[in-house]
Amino acid sequence: MEADVADAETRTGATGTQAVDRACALVSLVVRAGDPLTFTEISDTAGLARSTTSRLLAALERTDLVARDATGAYVAGSLFALHAARHDPWQETARLALPFLERLRDATGETSHLGVPRGARVEHVAQVDSTYLLATRDWTQLEVPEHCSSLGKVLYAFGRLPMPDGPLLERPTDHSVGDLIALDRDLAEVRHRGYAVTIDELEVGLTAVAAPVRGLDGEVVAAIGVSGPTARLADRVDQVGRLLVRESEALSSLLHRQRDSHATAPKREEGAA
């Protein structure tokens, strides 16, 4: 990065040290900002010429210190995400999953969630609310029986939660799975089709669908799901399930790319600015 930045800045008359100082200042500005920053905001705040700002940001983006969101504004780059993932993987996974949750909400109209294993429980770490007035509640502060949850069934199915004590299980409704034999059959179906479904199992009138998300080592680390009123979701669980599989695979691919992109240093092109 230093060679690239220094080269770019030398063409504007700045020394190598000045180039590094300016690049570090831009990284600090972007990382400390509460919201994504536009190019103009960065240039004006830093007090740099637009051409200088452009060259510095391009170098920083190539080395994953900054990145651009869907609107073109600048945010902290994936190098920071990689560091954070080593210390708080769930928070970082939630951040990376947010665009996927938003797409799921937009495609289905329903509430979308991300759940991760915490001991023997599912912890909801992210949620994007439904577009409907009649929607499910905020699940991020709740604990529910995992065998009645689509997220929980996914994590059971792929060995990320210890199986519940049995042989009989809590039954919040008459539709709930009542014993380990029935749960095992359900989990086998989850593995076969790639997603889990609960219809009226946690609460009558509530349907949920979820699919697995694989992390840096290829193992299932989370489940991504959609929930809403049975009247709106029950007749389209297969459609939503296939959508969830596509989005979960895309999120898993993103996590894999982050690992692969940092396994070896990126090659610089000869004479790159």
Parse the chain into domains and list their residue ranges: 2-76, 85-259
Calculate mean pLDDT across residues 213-222.
Answer: 88
Find which of 86-95, 183-192, 214-223, 264-273 is predicted with most confidence, using mean pLDDT. 183-192
Q: Is the pLDDT of residue 117 over 80?
A: yes
User: Residue 226 above 60 pLDDT?
Assistant: yes
Beta-bridge partners for 223: 115, 212
Average pLDDT, the chain: 86
Span 10-51, pLDDT tens digits: 444 456 788 899 999 999 999 888 789 999 999 999 999 999
pLDDT for the residue numbered 259: 55
- Give the Cβ contact number of residue 270 at 10 Å: 5
pLDDT of 95 strictly over 50 = yes
Higher-confidence residue of 242 and 96: namely 242
Residue 38's Cβ-side half-sphere holds a number of Cα atoms within 13 Å equal to 4
- Domain 85-259 class, CATH top level: alpha beta
pTM of the predicted model, to two decimals?
A: 0.65
Mean pLDDT on 166-171 = 91
Domain 2-76, architecture per CATH: Orthogonal Bundle (1.10)
Q: In what order do the strands lie in the sheet with 206-214?
A: 121-128, 111-118, 220-229, 206-214, 196-199
What's the confidence (pLDDT) of residue 86? 63
Residue 207 clears pLDDT 50, i.e. is over it: yes
What is the pLDDT, as a whole number, of residue 35?
86
pLDDT bucket at 4, cuts 50 / 70 / 90: very low
- Band of residue 82 on the pLDDT scale cut at 50, 70, 90: low
Residue 193 above 80 pLDDT?
yes
What is the band of 134 on the pLDDT scale with cuts at 50, 70, 90? confident
Residue 6: pLDDT band by 50, 70, 90 thresholds?
Answer: very low
The pLDDT > 70 percentage for the chain reads: 85
Identify which of 166, 114, 159 has the alpha carbon closest to the alpha carbon of residue 145: 166
Query: Does the pLDDT at position 268 exceed 70?
Result: no
